[in-house]
């Protein structure tokens, strides 16, 4: 998948770079490398994007860590 195609698909899902990085489980730097063509896009990500398009899915993007709720602690 070319970087231009990758960028077009990611933007069509309404994801910015930070959201795409969280969704794919990579750092923002790695996602930027995918977008700029500095790194090859892994086949798993290409297949995921193609499956989302084919089946009409929408990505569920995890919250950024600072906004995520903390797990409840056990009460003694």
Query: What is the pTM for the complete model shown?
Result: 0.76
For the segment 38-53, what is each residue's pLDDT rounded down to a tens digit?
Answer: 999 999 999 999 999 9
How sure is the predictor about 76, in pLDDT bands with cuts at 50, 70 and 90?
low
**Contact predicate 60/14, CB 8 Å:** no
Distance in angstroms (rounded) separating the CA atoms of residues 34 and 29: 9
How sure is the predictor about 63, in pLDDT bands with cuts at 50, 70 and 90?
confident
- Classify 60 in phi/psi space as left (phi over 0), alpha (psi -120 to 50) or beta: beta
Q: How far is CA 60 from the centre of its chain?
A: 9
């Amino acid at each position: 998948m070319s970087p231009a195609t990758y960028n077009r698909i990611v933007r069509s899902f309404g994801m910015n770079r930070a959201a795409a990085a969280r969704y794919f489980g990579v750092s923002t730097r790695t996602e930027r490398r995918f977008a700029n063509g500095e790194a090859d896009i892994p086949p798993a990500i290409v297949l995921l994007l193609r499956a989302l398009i084919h089946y009409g899915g929408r990505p569920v993007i995890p919250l950024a860590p600072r906004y995520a709720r903390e797990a409840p602690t056990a009460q003694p």
